[in-house]
Amino acid sequence: MNEIMKNRMLYLIFAIILILPFVLQDVNFQHITIMFLIFAGLGEGWNIITGFTGQTSFGHAAFFGIGAYTSTIMFYKFGISPWIGMILGALFAAGISAVVSYPCFRLKGHYFAIATLAVAEIIKQLFVSWDYVEGATGISIPVKPDSFWMMQFHKSKIPYFLIAYVLFIVATLVAVAVEKNKMGYYLKAIRESHEAAEALGINTTRYKLYAMMISSAVTAVFGTLYAQYILYIDPFMVFGLDISMKIVLLTVLGGLGSVYGPIIGAAILIPLSEYTRVFLGGTGKGIDLMIYGALIVIVACFEPRGVLGLFRRTKKRGAQYAKTTA
Amino acid sequence: MRKLLVVFAVLLAFTVFAEEVIKIGAIFPLTGPAAATGVKIKYAVEVAQEIINGEHPEIELLLGKSAGLPNLNGAKIQFVFADHQANPELAMAEAERLIRNEGVVALIGCYHSSATKPASQVAEKYGIPFIAGSSSSAALTERGLQWFFRIAPHDGMETVFFFEYLKYLNQKYNANVKKVAVVYIDNEYGVHAAQMVKEKIKDYQADGFSIVADVKYPAGATNVDIEVQKIKGAKPDAIFHASYIGDMTMFVKKYKEFNVVPKVVLSYCGGYQDPQFVINLGKDADYFAGPNATTSALFKKMAILAKINEMYKAKSGVDIDGPTLEDFASAIVIAEAINLAGSTDPQKVLNVLKTGTFMAPYFVSGRIKFGPDGQNIYSASVMTQILDGIYEAVWPEQYQTKEPVPQFPDWNKR
């Protein structure tokens, strides 16, 4: 019963998100909903390797960038549809993550986190000095008339929103599927105790690898959408630490290891950063960033399990109160 | 109830008598790694707004005398600032927001070429003029955009300027500069500048110029010993630098340590142009040279520039520098174009921008005119050289505040 209720909640969230840009037809609001969907989706992807499996990755920008660059290069150099680029980007990202993570999985805890950070920086530097992909100059994606096949829409943001929406739902359902599957229990076993999981006969390396590949493929898909949405990419922008940290931040803020976490985190962080910048950014005093930072510190100090933890605690307290008064 | 009526009446009176305000979006890096520069540019754009909206007969600009835009019944200009934090994604989002939500009729910005690219694409999409003041990547005007204009010379123009200056030194001072080394940072700015040198030198091979070293160093390098040894080994007469303030300072210290003594060092718009260069290096900064849209040594020669600087310095506490003046120019030019068009209709403003010549007495070139690709065809640069800690204008001759020194003295004889 609880499972159905939980999923019902998820469907309700999906439904609410869908009507948002149609209710408030403000272009800036629509932009914020698109960014929210992209980052919530990225959070779902990251959650699979870090939230479920307990392997902290600080380098997911690497896969985001690979997704962005694969589709962009194919479109820019050969005129191939970004949809094909998106699928290939996801496959590339999964492949590269497997090659890179395999040796890194020998490392545990902080060392794995440091290794992912370093790998992302290495990949960024490679792209900076790689002439074929225009190196540091970046690529301005050629503007084409509105077309679904070319994933470019200039008259309205709604098509971008709908694509982001579908990808977000797919990412969330992938996360749910992983969590509810046998694999999800294996991953959680690995998170709780690596040694105990091995003792139970789980091939930890193989499952960590699967988790990493799924996680990076999901991340890469959003990289393609992001590139097609901004129509410009350079290595500093898509491989930057900023992207990795934003993914980490919003998932941890929302609640690590739950499919609701990234949605809650992104729903708070993305509008917060956008609106504070819109209203206060023009002053040039950085007040928007101070407020943004202060709120994160407050949440981290008072509820390290994220906003979801806060909900759960309040619910528990409510239940206890009901018990005592009964 | 009566109070409410009074308030309502006052509000009504305000809306009836309020002058029309024309909004122009200004997107700059007001926070983030280039915040210091972004805030300086904001002050300069505010000065431009003051000149346009107030009565400043002492500043002989088209819009200086009258308050507001005379052809639009004294309508006032308001620059709406937005912050892109050096992030292209935010530049794009802010451009769209300013156009759609704030109702701006034109955009200026964004200092970083990487932010200018997506922001100007948004302007193109909505059919709104975009003027970039100081973004210098040549790629910006190679995109074939209809609504994009740029005031600063791009790195291709700067490269030609370098070779012409070297020719001048060879002819007038018998400097005998032939061998050129290119030293550049491994990012868009540096790599593109180096490409330009390799391309433009073909036109100057007849004058005897050749590239003897091509030295690329990584962004964030903490040691440049190998690079400097490579440069020393090539024995160049001239070094072209595309470096930021931190790495430029590091290179100069190493030139001294390894006793690299070229005849000329010319820097693309970057670290050399930052006044911090002289503060960091003191006497060791002397004899370095580079193009600048302006220098404080020129204030004596150009009265208008001095007056603009006075207003700017009151806000910022420092003298106006090249990139800042270029963004100031973008604010003035867009206001003049709207005034000349007599309307905020984008198509009319576009026609004025495409056909008009704008007086710019604060630049040595004196005017601004956009070519078919949107590039200002009059390069607003003077060659400056640091002599006794001051950026002196050394070329072209009519703006000379001091004669150039075409030879580095030995490092221990400074």
Rounded to a whole number of angstroms, the distance from the CA of B187 to the nearest CA of chain A is 5
Contact at 8 Å (CB) between A160 and A34? Answer: yes
Q: Omega into A104 within 30° of 0, i.e. cis?
A: no
The most confident of A178-182, A293-297, B53-57, B128-132, by mean pLDDT: B128-132
Q: Which CATH architecture has domain A2-325?
A: Orthogonal Bundle (1.10)
Check whether A3 has a pLDDT greater than 60: no
End-to-end CA gap in chain A: 24
CA angle B147, B335, B66 (to 5 degrees): 165
Q: Omega into A103 within 30° of 0, i.e. cis?
A: no
Give the integer Cα–Cα distance in Å for B93 and A278: 10
> For B315-324, how does the pLDDT look when each residue is reduced to its tens digit (9 = 90+)?
999 899 888 9
Check whether A321 has a pLDDT greater than 80: no
Chain A stretch 276-305, residues whose beta carbon is closer than 8 A to a beta carbon of chain B: 277-278, 281-284, 286, 288-289
Q: Within an 8 Å CB–CB cutoff, is residue B39 touching chain A?
A: yes
Q: Within an 8 Å CB–CB cutoff, is residue B382 touching chain A?
A: no
Average the pLDDT over each of A102-116, A207-221, B103-117 and give the range with the smallest value. A102-116
Look at A277 and B192 and tell me if their CB atoms are within 8 Å: no
Q: Within an 8 Å CB–CB cutoff, is residue B83 touching chain A?
A: yes
> For B161-191, how does the pLDDT look when each residue is reduced to its tens digit (9 = 90+)?
999 999 999 999 999 999 999 999 887 788 8
Look at A230 and B90 and tell me if their CB atoms are within 8 Å: no
Q: Within an 8 Å CB–CB cutoff, is residue A137 touching chain B?
A: yes
Q: Within an 8 Å CB–CB cutoff, is residue B91 touching chain A?
A: no
The encoded tokens of residue B380 equal 């607003």
Q: Within an 8 Å CB–CB cutoff, is residue A274 touching chain B?
A: yes
The encoded tokens of residue B32 equal 């983030």
* Domains detected in chain B: 17-152+302-369 (3.40.50.2300), 156-292+382-413 (3.40.50.2300)
User: Which letter does DSSP use for residue B75 in this model?
Assistant: B
**Bigger pLDDT: A316 vs A21:** A21
Look at A281 and B114 and tell me if their CB atoms are within 8 Å: no
CA angle B218, B222, B226 (to 5 degrees): 70
* Beta pairing, strands B357-360 & B238-242: unpaired
pTM: 0.83
| Res A171: pLDDT | 95
**Bigger pLDDT: A323 vs A107:** A107
Check whether A262 has a pLDDT greater than 50: yes
CA-nearest residue of chain A to B40? A284
Which amino acid belongs to residue B372?
A: P
| Res B17: pLDDT | 46
Check whether A131 has a pLDDT greater than 90: no
Mapping DSSP to helix (H, G, I), strand (E, B) and coil, where does residue B104 land? coil
Quick one: angle between helices A110-128 and A61-78, nearest 10?
20
Average pLDDT over residues B115-143: 92
Rounded to a whole number of angstroms, the distance from the CA of A153 to the nearest CA of chain B is 10
Look at A230 and B88 and tell me if their CB atoms are within 8 Å: yes
Question: A67 has which bridge partners?
Answer: none
Rounded to a whole number of angstroms, the distance from the CA of B414 to the nearest CA of chain A is 38
> For A211-259, how does the pLDDT look when each residue is reduced to its tens digit (9 = 90+)?
999 999 999 999 999 999 999 999 989 998 889 989 998 898 888 888 8
Q: Within an 8 Å CB–CB cutoff, is residue B78 touching chain A?
A: no
pLDDT class of A1 with cuts at 50, 70, 90: very low
Rounded to a whole number of angstroms, the distance from the CA of B128 to the nearest CA of chain A is 14
Provide CB contacts within 8 A for A249, sequence distance 6+. A265, A269, A296
| Res A319: pLDDT | 73
Look at A284 and B121 and tell me if their CB atoms are within 8 Å: no
Contact at 8 Å (CB) between B321 and B328? Answer: no
Q: Which alpha helices (H) appear in B258-366, and where do they start and end? A: 276-281, 303-316, 322-341, 346-355
Chain B stretch 256-295, residues whose beta carbon is closer than 8 A to a beta carbon of chain A: none
| Res B19: pLDDT | 63
DSSP B307-322: HHHHHHHHHHSS---H
CA angle A268, A274, A275 (to 5 degrees): 85
Of residues B82, B89, B219, nearest to A237 (C-beta): B89
Cα–chain-centroid distance for residue A214? 12
pLDDT class of A5 with cuts at 50, 70, 90: low
Rounded to a whole number of angstroms, the distance from the CA of B404 to the nearest CA of chain A is 34
Of residues A135, A231, A281, nearest to B121 (C-beta): A231
pLDDT class of B289 with cuts at 50, 70, 90: very high
**Bigger pLDDT: A220 vs B60:** A220
Of residues A230, A236, A277, nearest to B83 (C-beta): A277
> For B203-244, how does the pLDDT look when each residue is reduced to its tens digit (9 = 90+)?
999 999 999 999 999 877 889 999 999 999 999 999 999 998
Look at B139 and A140 and tell me if their CB atoms are within 8 Å: yes
> For A28-40, how does the pLDDT look when each residue is reduced to its tens digit (9 = 90+)?
899 999 999 999 9
Q: Within an 8 Å CB–CB cutoff, is residue B172 touching chain A?
A: no
All structural domains of chain A with their residue ranges: 2-325
Look at B186 and A278 and tell me if their CB atoms are within 8 Å: no
| Res B380: pLDDT | 77
Q: Within an 8 Å CB–CB cutoff, is residue B100 touching chain A?
A: yes
Check whether B397 has a pLDDT greater than 80: yes
Check whether B5 has a pLDDT greater than 50: yes
Contact at 8 Å (CB) between B376 and B368? Answer: yes
Instruction: Give the mean pLDDT of chain A.
Output: 88
The encoded tokens of residue A227 equal 């590139």
pLDDT class of B76 with cuts at 50, 70, 90: very high
| Res B334: pLDDT | 96
Provide CB contacts within 8 A for A270, sequence distance 6+. A32, A35, A36, A39, A250
Check whether A105 has a pLDDT greater than 90: no
Rounded to a whole number of angstroms, the distance from the CA of B143 to the nearest CA of chain A is 9
| Res B405: pLDDT | 94
CA distances from B295 to B134, B202, B300, B376 (A): 15, 31, 10, 20
Q: Within an 8 Å CB–CB cutoff, is residue A145 touching chain B?
A: no
Look at B118 and A231 and tell me if their CB atoms are within 8 Å: yes
| Res B213: pLDDT | 95
**Bigger pLDDT: B342 vs A316:** B342
| Residues on chain B touching A145 (C-beta within 8 angstroms) | none
Rounded to a whole number of angstroms, the distance from the CA of B111 to the nearest CA of chain A is 15
Give the integer Cα–Cα distance in Å for B352 and B331: 15
Q: Nearest-CA neighbor of B388 among B357, B356, B414?
A: B414
**Bigger pLDDT: A107 vs A58:** A58
Q: Within an 8 Å CB–CB cutoff, is residue A135 touching chain B?
A: yes
